[in-house]
Structure 1
Amino acid sequence: MSEQELPRPAKVTIAFLIRMLNDGGAQRQLCELVRAMDKTRFRVCVVAMYEGGRFKAEIESIPDVELITIGKRHTWDVVGALLRLVREMKRIRPQILHGYLDLGNVLSVFLKPFLPNVKVVWGLRNAGIQLKKESRAGKILAELERHLSRYPDLFVANSNAGQTYHVSIGYPEDRFIVIQNGTNTLKFAPDPLARQQMREAWGVLPDSPLIGIAGRIAPEKDHVTFLKAAGEVNNHRSECRYCIIGGGDEEDVAKLKLLAESLGIAEKVIWTGSFSEMNRAYNALDLLALTSQSEGFPNVVGEAMATGVPVVVTDVGDVRTLVNNTNVICPPGDASRVAATMLNVLASLSYPPPDLRLREQIEQNFSLDALRRKTEEALWKII
């Protein structure tokens, strides 16, 4: 019997392969996806190369999802980690091996010879722009990924921008599907009590508009533009406060704090550091800003909108599709335009949030159920 004639199994084993379950949008989406998948049709395994990470405990708590950690110790721990990985994969015997991000994608191709008839899927989460200097290992992985792109059976991009970028550098266009991120609208929902509690904890007065930016502190997120815009907003609305939700490199954070001081808004900026209770954080806000230079499909925008919080965004990735409102979209890097748009939104919003029209936009178009359904259909077709 040829490979094409192999019977489809009643229950498909899928292994998601990822570097680490640390804090990040891709890791959060993986967690939500494996939670939502139909366990009567799929046996779901998550394989992480490194121990730990914010989402490890959460995935361990999901019924009928097996989590395997390979215990890779450092970047150049290669031979031992690969031997352990091959052993675990032979035990799991997946019909589908789904790489997630660069390391998972590259390793999935190298595992093919050990897994007869396995279908390899790559999850592609970026749209090309990387402002932070890559490490030597990162550059090697990126080149390997590009050269190995002829081998996967399917590419799943989380944005049209991501597909366009990868096709432009040589990925085969005929094997792509775009499945945009899903938002957990049960978790991210209006919560007046959480709003009150978080604002009290952060020392924000009930009538002070709070403008936030959420996500790791990294050059491509362009917190510099956010702070410059905040400085301009402060000239017109001195009662506003600003919240930077997320952690990052100490040197990057220190530079941003110096910038806030030079702009005269240091006393008005809240720095939360790494923050896990994002549903509570969004509820505290009156406006969320995304000032990124590059995105695929930003989770934070969908999550804020599901909470009923208005947004101001830069024109990156698939943001236009997500917000469906050109009045809140600004050119990347244009702090004055971002500030003017923030002021317009603050002047027009019903105070305080939630704006349930924003929540409805996410529920109807970017739900977790849509993510699950589209993913399962795409995976089932390649078996």
Structure 2
Amino acid sequence: MRIVFIITGLSTGGAEMMLFKILERLDRNSFAPHVISLTTLGELAPRIVALGIPVDAVELEPGLPSPAGFFRLVQLLKRLKPDVVHTWMYHADLLGGLAARLAGVSSVGWCIRNSNLDKEKTRISIRAIVGLCALLSKWVPSQILSCSEKARQIHVAHGYAAEKMVVVPNGFDLSRFKPDDHARRIVRVELELDVDTPLVGLIGRFDPQKNHAGFFEAAGLIHRQMPQVHFVLAGKGVDWNNPALKQAIDKAGVLSNTHLLGLRSDMPDLMAALDVLASSSSYGEAFPNVLGEAMACGVPCAVTDVGDSAYIVGDTGCVVASMDMADLAQALVGILQLPAAERLALGEAARTRVANHFEIGQITRQYEAFYADLASASSAGHGPH
């Protein structure tokens, strides 16, 4: 089956990495994938090409797309003659979905990766695209894959065709993300800390929805109870050149206990080094990948009840109300103060939960079933190639 994936861009965000993980594991005897980026190639393109998968970039400008660029996309799809087109994220759903239909593709799937459409938090341009997609959802896509139940509910409430929605969660590689005592040691050596220093992590790009300011509010409260705890943060924009972060750290009084590491390429080691992972997100998360990654490393999580976070963690960590940083601090302290054997057991339960519900091989099979359904649901398919 020829399948074309259309995505807004190929930088290293959560949606882009999830697409990469699916491409790595797709059954190539049954599926011939091809990737199109609406904008530029980005950091992930060479890694996709290295899998033997062709990648094209349509080079649309951010903002209002040009008719010429859209026409290039239609022509490219006509040339590729895919059996199925799967678009990822709003711009790709809208432009890629319409282009696929104009190119004569009858099996089109959309993909939703966001769970917040609040007026205050969402750019007006995004809300406009979501409104258009809601109208078009009745006829452009045959099915719509959502990475979270919360995202499904929110989009149905905004007018998306409920009967077309399918939920497939994100998946995690348990051979990459795993408990690792060596990683615990080497990360502490790098940070010049004692081998038994407790580490609380917050991993994610600097973005209002991640609520770094709230995290440091919680960090200040933890510091007063457990001054030996250190806070490790990594992600794009999470470094000492960020004045907003420095201000939050100073206000919390945790300057000497905080490590801002910026973008890291050794995420499995960093995750495995933590004693507990925090997610202080205030809105917008659909399915935070960092939770599955930490849990796969045997690291318990304390999270705000945003998106599917509570479902992901289940009974293997703590869930507090969104924006309640005092409760988040207490949840983190509660996990840190567990006897070592109990914290280890909680981490093992977290890894087992990922293995049972979110293992990447199982999730890839669910994606493959989604594509098979898309192809067979199409009444006027191209037939087998």
- TM-score of the superposition, structure 2-length normalised? 0.90
Whether contact under 8 Å (2:301, 2:316) holds in the other structure is no
Between the aligned partners of 1:365 and 1:146, the Cα distance in structure 2 is: 29
How far is 1:136 from its partner? 5.5
Whether contact under 8 Å (2:82, 2:105) holds in the other structure is no
Whether contact under 8 Å (2:238, 2:260) holds in the other structure is no
Whether contact under 8 Å (2:109, 2:143) holds in the other structure is yes
How far is 1:327 from its partner? 5.7
Note the aligned Cα RMSD (angstroms). Answer: 2.3
Q: 2:298 aligned with 1:308, yes or no? A: yes
Q: 2:133 aligned with 1:141, yes or no? A: no
Paired residue for 2:338, among 348, 353, 358? Answer: 348
Whether contact under 8 Å (1:33, 1:372) holds in the other structure is yes
Residue number in structure 2 paired with 1:37: 26
Map 1:49-64 onto structure 2 (within 5 A): 49-63=38-52
Whether contact under 8 Å (1:31, 1:59) holds in the other structure is yes
Paired residue for 2:80, among 81, 92, 104? Answer: 92
Q: 2:368 aligned with 1:379, yes or no? A: no
Deviations 1:254-283 (A, max 9, x none): 212101101211221111112232112102
Structure 1's 173 and 252: CA in aligned 2 closer, same or farther, altered over 3 A?
A: farther
Paired residue for 1:75, among 55, 63, 69? Answer: 63
Residue number in structure 1 paired with 2:114: 126
Aligned residue identity for 2:84: I
Residue number in structure 2 paired with 1:112: 100
Residue number in structure 1 paired with 2:323: 333
Whether contact under 8 Å (1:15, 1:97) holds in the other structure is yes
Partner secondary structure for residue 376 of structure 1: helix
Structure 1's 75 and 180: CA in aligned 2 closer, same or farther, altered over 3 A?
A: same
Whether contact under 8 Å (1:13, 1:42) holds in the other structure is yes
Aligned residues: 371
Between the aligned partners of 1:248 and 1:275, the Cα distance in structure 2 is: 11
Structure 1's 77 and 179: CA in aligned 2 closer, same or farther, altered over 3 A?
A: closer
Between the aligned partners of 2:11 and 2:37, the Cα distance in structure 1 is: 10
Residue number in structure 1 paired with 2:225: 236
Deviations 1:160-184 (A, max 9, x none): 1011001101111111110011111
Structure 1's 14 and 302: CA in aligned 2 closer, same or farther, altered over 3 A?
A: same
Aligned residue identity for 2:273: A
Whether contact under 8 Å (1:49, 1:72) holds in the other structure is yes
After TM superposition, the structure 1 stretch with the greater mean CA deviation from structure 2, 87-96 or 354-363, is: 354-363
Aligned residue identity for 2:310: R
Between the aligned partners of 2:339 and 2:230, the Cα distance in structure 1 is: 16
Paired residue for 2:146, among 146, 154, 157? Answer: 157
Whether contact under 8 Å (1:125, 1:158) holds in the other structure is yes
Deviations 1:70-105 (A, max 9, x none): 233443451332232222212211111111001110
How far is 1:52 from its partner? 3.5
Whether contact under 8 Å (1:198, 1:280) holds in the other structure is yes
Whether contact under 8 Å (1:181, 1:299) holds in the other structure is yes
Whether contact under 8 Å (2:205, 2:235) holds in the other structure is yes
Paired residue for 1:19, among 8, 11, 36? Answer: 8
After TM superposition, the structure 1 stretch with the greater mean CA deviation from structure 2, 123-132 or 293-302, is: 123-132
- TM-score of the superposition, structure 1-length normalised? 0.90
Unaligned runs of 5+ in 1: 1-11
Q: 2:323 aligned with 1:319, yes or no? A: no
Residue number in structure 2 paired with 1:363: 355
Between the aligned partners of 1:158 and 1:81, the Cα distance in structure 2 is: 29
Whether contact under 8 Å (2:301, 2:317) holds in the other structure is no
How far is 1:193 from its partner? 2.4
Partner secondary structure for residue 142 of structure 1: helix
Residue number in structure 2 paired with 1:265: 254
Structure 1's 83 and 98: CA in aligned 2 closer, same or farther, altered over 3 A?
A: same
Whether contact under 8 Å (2:74, 2:100) holds in the other structure is no
Between the aligned partners of 2:368 and 2:71, the Cα distance in structure 1 is: 30
Between the aligned partners of 2:119 and 2:194, the Cα distance in structure 1 is: 36
Aligned residue identity for 1:237: M
Paired residue for 1:288, among 258, 261, 277? Answer: 277
Aligned residue identity for 2:303: V
Between the aligned partners of 1:105 and 1:317, the Cα distance in structure 2 is: 21
Between the aligned partners of 2:272 and 2:240, the Cα distance in structure 1 is: 29
How far is 1:16 from its partner? 0.9
Map 1:191-230 onto structure 2 (within 5 A): 191-230=180-219
Between the aligned partners of 1:347 and 1:207, the Cα distance in structure 2 is: 13
Deviations 1:17-49 (A, max 9, x none): 011111211111110011111111111111112
Percent identity between the two aligned chains: 27
How far is 1:190 from its partner? 2.1
How far is 1:222 from its partner? 1.2
Between the aligned partners of 1:221 and 1:131, the Cα distance in structure 2 is: 18
Whether contact under 8 Å (2:85, 2:107) holds in the other structure is yes
Between the aligned partners of 2:215 and 2:221, the Cα distance in structure 1 is: 10
Between the aligned partners of 1:249 and 1:240, the Cα distance in structure 2 is: 19
Q: 2:263 aligned with 1:274, yes or no? A: yes
